[in-house]
Chains A and B, each alone.
Chain A
């Protein structure tokens, strides 16, 4: 028997699904841009980056659809159907997000040994399955991965020093901060209704992180257009 636990205040029902859909949409835009660079360069790491962002897109899409259905936005579900949708939607979300994060960790930290990537993935299995709470394990492990990715992007920004690289670093920093909020919220240790508020702020922080990623992507295009204009002027 699967128990369906829905977090957050009642007024937030559906808003979380919409924010997850926004994250999926932005991840899709980055995937398409990344695929374009892969086509131009034919470099394997660009291919892996495209794959990683593509998996994140599907992960958030799965979570968004599951949350929309579970919160009864489109249809009212029976208890068994709700349990099935909860299980399928969240399992897909968790697994795809982890694979995406592992690929991102390997790319950003330039880990080329596939055995290490496999080791990282295998350590997740007991971390999730043997845990008393999949929710806390997921956000705890996600925070660790995203903190490592953020650190790599901080180093990248120090080297490259462009506004886009700064935005990417800030985006991943916000995503890591969101995971910490989800994690604390999952312990229900906060007094009063604060744990509900933290659920909302975690979602907003995550959405902000993806918006920063979108700004970085848009900036990439804008900077290029300026460069091109300047080149024509010369």
Chain B
């Protein structure tokens, strides 16, 4: 079954959270199960919405989940239940 946009966003943020809040781009690509091109589009949007931020750690580029992103993951179940109930 095709994943909804909200599910993809959740999977990406959850992947970062499961890695202690910071994840390498290659790991994120693997965990989010998207093509590089699609992942880039989602990352740009997540960074624009301040859910994810680009940081450098030990000389390597990482993506770090923001406080807003943590809040999104916490509220995801509520939002998902609502969208399912109302057929959105």
A199 at the interface (CB under 8 A from B): no
Q: Which A residues have a C-beta under 8 Å from some C-beta of B?
A: 33-34, 36-37, 40-43, 45-46, 49, 107-108, 152-153, 156, 160, 162, 164-165, 167-168, 216-217, 219-221, 223-224, 227-228
Given A41-B79, A221-B78, A227-B77, are A34 and B85 neighbors across the interface (CB < 8 Å)? no
Given A42-B49, A43-B5, A43-B6, are A160 and B79 neighbors across the interface (CB < 8 Å)? no
Within 8 Å CB of B83, what residues of A?
A: 37, 41, 46
Given A41-B79, A221-B78, are A107 and B88 neighbors across the interface (CB < 8 Å)? yes
Within 8 Å CB of B88, what residues of A?
A: 37, 43, 45-46, 49, 107
Q: Are B87 and A162 in contact (CB under 8 A)?
A: no
Nearest 10 CB-CB pairings of A with B: A164-B85, A156-B87, A224-B78, A220-B81, A224-B77, A160-B84, A37-B79, A165-B85, A41-B6, A220-B82
Given A37-B82, A224-B78, A224-B81, are A108 and B87 neighbors across the interface (CB < 8 Å)? yes
Given A42-B49, A43-B5, A43-B6, are A153 and B78 neighbors across the interface (CB < 8 Å)? no
A interface, over-half SS: helix
Nearest A residue to B71, CB-CB: A40
Q: How far is the CA of A221 from the CA of B75 in the complex (A)?
A: 10
Q: Are A165 and B5 in contact (CB under 8 A)?
A: no
Nearest A residue to B51, CB-CB: A40
Q: Are A33 and B82 in contact (CB under 8 A)?
A: yes
Q: How far is the CA of A152 from the CA of B45 in the complex (A)?
A: 31
Residue in B49, B72, B82, B83 with the greatest tally of chain A CB atoms within 10 Å:
B82
Contact with A along B7-28 (1 / 0, CB 8 A): 0010000000000000000000
